[in-house]
Structure 1
Amino acid sequence: MTDLLAGSDTEALLPGMLADLEELVSCETPSSDPAAVAAGAERVARLGARDLGTDPEVLVVDGCTHLRWRLGGGPRRLLLLCHQDTVWPRGTLAEIPWSVTDGVVRGPGCFDMKAGIVLACTALARLRADGLDLDGVTVLVTGDEEIGSPTSADLIRAEARDCAAVLVLEASADGGALKTGRKGASMYELLVTGRAAHAGLEPEAGVNTTIELAHQVLAIAALADPAQGTTVTPTVLASGTTTNTVPAAGRLAVDVRALTAAEQQRVDAGIRALTPRVPGAVLELRGGINRPPLEVASSAALFALAQQVAARLGLPAPAGVTVGGASDGNFTAGIGVPTLDGLGAVGGGAHAVGEHVLAGELPARLALLTGLVRAVLDGELGTHARDGGGVGVPDEEPSGE
């Protein structure tokens, strides 16, 4: 481990990292806008080509643009996983413009997770300059993470499958903690079909979808198990068309989060076993399990290695937490590849108007990431993987993306 990984070297890179981050944040990339995502990908491609020394493959899947750099021609060893789409609609930049004030960076998507892209590219550029062989490293930047990765999930799993490790550049948890566990996420939509009738003249002739949905909301919510950390949350609800008509159609969205695959499967079975309660009502269920959990065992070895790297560099030992939000790291952990998440920026306010990055934390974050990449490529992960990581179970944090 050389001195280039810490201290004044990374501090000197901060202005360039902020300039790159401004370049990315200034191009709005809402997940629902394929043209905007494609335009953002062009900017990421330029920055990445400069830092990685080669142009990416541009992969368009069902209209969504993703970027892939496969460095060298050897076997895949390490995947750095990023996304450049955001939750923010076009026009947000006018309301929350790019700014750096008193060391606080603001702008839509700065924290979640465009700063992570900048960190990944800068870290690999430093390692290239230091003469490290990056053969076998893959960088994947997707464009649909915020909507469940419908076009990139298969690509992510395929890229990770032969790797020794996956490092996810999502934003950190509170205080810069790494995300050593993530709940799995399932998303459902329950459609109810009934029969319309006049609400005043003959309501008994109708089949009321609002009443049916009321029964189903209670049945679905009862599937939660707080003791196991399993949340089952009915969210968006709609039924009916006019105030004097028995509603003939309704729908309910349901968000499920679980710490283990067994719990996720239990809730899935329970939702699929729902039956109508109002005579004549018909149920149709759409959706299902979106991302499996990133269980703590999947990150233990990498987390131990990150702590060792931090100690070498004189950095504070990173904390590890389990969060409720899912990411693309859930996919890679779900196929058995060691995965460590939350290696991106320190800040807060993801998906909220207070989204921000702490500029002063970027150099240390860069040093940790650079050192961790080097350690994985030097084969150090094998020791930790054999001894089960050498650390206890990280703390649990109930919130997340």
Structure 2
Amino acid sequence: MPAPQVLDPRDLLRRLTDDTRAMVTDLERLVRAESPSSDGDALGACRDVLADIGTRLLGTAPTVLPRDPGNGRPGGLLWRLGPADVRPVLLVGHFDTVFPKGTLKRRPFLVDGTRATGPGVFDMKGGLIQGLYGLARLRELTGRDPAVAFLITADEEIGSPAGGPVVTEWARRSRAALVLEGAADSGALKHARKGWSFYDIRVKGVAAHAGLEPSKGSNALTDLARIIVALESLAAYDDRVTVTPTVASAGTTQNTVPDRAHVTVDVRVPDVQAQKDIDAELHRIVADVARLPFEVVGGPNRPPLEEAAATDLLETARTALAELGLEWPGSAAVGGISDGNLCAATGTPTLDGLGAVGGGPHADHEWADVTRMPERAALVARMVALLLQEG
């Protein structure tokens, strides 16, 4: 590479704006590589596409992370750039999506005006492309590899069973974590996320003929219904704490007293203490209400990303945007979770929502604004440069 140079933020943005067409082309290629979390073959194929794009842009191949030992699901990718003895800035993303294989046939990648649509375009393949292009231009304009770890996992949408420990490990090694999940409304950054807990409550009853001798049975569904109603008391009226039964099943046939029933419960909380309190209360309520044998499986999965973790990085983002000549988009606290929760839990400064500007995550109307891709790529690149200068 040429000798190190002083980075001109406005030149960085101009060059990335010139890259818009190329970014959209690579985004289409990545979206067309469908990658549902449950499909190992599809994940592997998508990972290969992503590795190829990143290798072309960054000039070096990534490390391929090990497979999930529990189920053999492919691992993610890691680009470690810059001097090994310098604490890096961590960029975090994932390439798995919630959309089943075949969604692309019904909802292909399309660009209509400023909007790109297609499965995973906002959550979060747009952010991955922006991050790669931002780093590539940063390398070119400074003449050196920045001290960056770009970690892209393959299982975030299902709770990061394999990717989570890797995220935690690299967050501990890093000076800051920038999460390339999609932005909040109108491009706002995400300075806080709720914590996430999930539970599977299982009740065991006794089967019997529903018409001939129902009294000889013990109805697991009825018992579970009482439990679900009782859990409503845990939720806060202001939505600071939400407790949401999501998936339930019971019984075997229409004319049989259900001998088993279960429900999954999604819990979101604003802070660590609330997460502990709700966990204890949920277990207490189930034990108090249940009349049949029961089991509660699960618990806290992600601690909250509290605002204090993002305070300094919000100022870095303000500085970067001002130098780029861009307006401040604001910041927001959101209910969804990401691997940013794991980064913040290590004590590493963490800022989320640096990815695509758009909306509709996990929905058929998911979209990303392709005209905003250059500015978000420039924001990430400039923040990396500023954080390394501070170091």
TM-score scaled to structure 2, two decimals?
0.93
Q: Single out whichever of 53-62 and 349-358 deviates more from structure 2.
A: 53-62
Aligned residue identity for 1:71: L
Q: 2:16 touches 2:134 (CA, 8 Å); kept in 1?
A: no
Secondary structure (helix, strand or coil) at the match of 1:192 reads strand
2:61 matched to 1:55?
yes
1:199 Cα offset (Å): 1.8
Q: 2:201 touches 2:297 (CA, 8 Å); kept in 1?
A: yes
Q: 2:200 touches 2:296 (CA, 8 Å); kept in 1?
A: yes
Aligned residues: 379
Secondary structure (helix, strand or coil) at the match of 1:60 reads coil
Distance of 1:166 and 1:180 partners within structure 2:
12
2:346 matched to 1:346?
no
1:15 Cα offset (Å): 0.8
Selected match of 2:118 from 78, 103, 107: 107
2:268 matched to 1:257?
yes
Distance of 2:302 and 2:14 partners within structure 1:
40
1:225 Cα offset (Å): 2.1
Alignment partner, residue 4 of structure 2: none
2:49 matched to 1:38?
no
Distance of 1:86 and 1:68 partners within structure 2:
19
Q: 2:12 touches 2:141 (CA, 8 Å); kept in 1?
A: no
Q: 1:41 touches 1:66 (CA, 8 Å); kept in 2?
A: yes
Alignment partner, residue 143 of structure 1: 154
Q: 1:5 touches 1:367 (CA, 8 Å); kept in 2?
A: no
Flag the 1:106–1:222 CA change in 2: closer, same or farther, 3 A: same
Q: 2:359 touches 2:368 (CA, 8 Å); kept in 1?
A: yes
1:244 Cα offset (Å): 2.0
1:1-400 mapped onto 2 (5 Å cutoff): 1-62=7-68, 63=72, 64-72=74-82, 73-131=84-142, 133-227=144-238, 229-273=240-284, 274-275=286-287, 277=289, 279=291, 281-379=292-390
Paired-residue identity, %: 44
Flag the 1:7–1:57 CA change in 2: closer, same or farther, 3 A: closer
1:228 Cα offset (Å): 6.8
Distance of 1:354 and 1:26 partners within structure 2:
16
Distance of 2:209 and 2:54 partners within structure 1:
62
1:135 Cα offset (Å): 4.7
Q: 1:76 touches 1:138 (CA, 8 Å); kept in 2?
A: no
Unaligned runs of 5+ in 2: 1-6
Aligned residue identity for 1:11: T
Secondary structure (helix, strand or coil) at the match of 2:310 reads helix
Aligned residue identity for 1:69: W
1:223 Cα offset (Å): 1.2
1:69-120 superposed Cα distances (whole Å, 9 cap, x missing partner):
1113223321000101111111111111111121211111111110111111
Distance of 1:322 and 1:5 partners within structure 2:
32
1:235 Cα offset (Å): 1.4
1:344 Cα offset (Å): 0.6
Unaligned runs of 5+ in 1: 381-401
1:302 Cα offset (Å): 0.3
Distance of 1:260 and 1:120 partners within structure 2:
29
1:204 Cα offset (Å): 2.0
1:31 Cα offset (Å): 0.5
Q: 1:74 touches 1:135 (CA, 8 Å); kept in 2?
A: no
1:152-171 superposed Cα distances (whole Å, 9 cap, x missing partner):
11111001102110000011
Aligned residue identity for 1:20: D
Q: Single out whichever of 49-58 and 337-346 deviates more from structure 2.
A: 49-58
Distance of 2:361 and 2:219 partners within structure 1:
39
Secondary structure (helix, strand or coil) at the match of 1:378 reads helix
Aligned residue identity for 2:389: D
Distance of 2:16 and 2:32 partners within structure 1:
24
1:297 Cα offset (Å): 0.7
Distance of 1:69 and 1:76 partners within structure 2:
14
Q: 1:212 touches 1:276 (CA, 8 Å); kept in 2?
A: no
Distance of 1:260 and 1:55 partners within structure 2:
39
Aligned residue identity for 1:143: A
Secondary structure (helix, strand or coil) at the match of 1:357 reads strand
Q: Single out whichever of 342-351 and 222-231 deviates more from structure 2.
A: 222-231
Q: 1:310 touches 1:318 (CA, 8 Å); kept in 2?
A: no
Aligned residue identity for 1:70: R
